[in-house]
Amino acid sequence: MLDLIVKGTRIAVVMFWVAMALSLVSVIPGPYGPPIIWIGGLVLLIHLAQYLFVKSIFAGRYSEDFSFVQTMLFGFTHWLPLLINGRGKRQ
């Protein structure tokens, strides 16, 4: 069930980033474009905070599987499965 939620969330996030990119080049007009850009900026700040939090808490116990780029794109849907499945553990 968690895999289905993670995959669905990733698809929604990718669709949002496409909408934000279209808003940046003014393809999405008028009243919808600027709020999408503002929300995108807020999401980037939240994902940066998530990355810094996860790196600071789990730095000693987990390997470098916590990708900065994937965390910035997908947020918790990148690092949460790593923690749950234990794939991020050092061996």
- Taking only the tens place, the pLDDT of each residue in 28-41 is 888 988 999 999 99
> What is the structure's pLDDT at 37?
92
Regions of the chain short of the pLDDT cut 50: 88-91
Q: How confident is the model at residue 79, as a pLDDT?
A: 77
pLDDT at 60: 63
Query: Which of 18-54 are b and which e, b meaning 16 or more Cβ less than 10 Å from the residue's Cβ?
Result: ebbeebeeeebeeeebeebbeebeebeeebeebbeeb
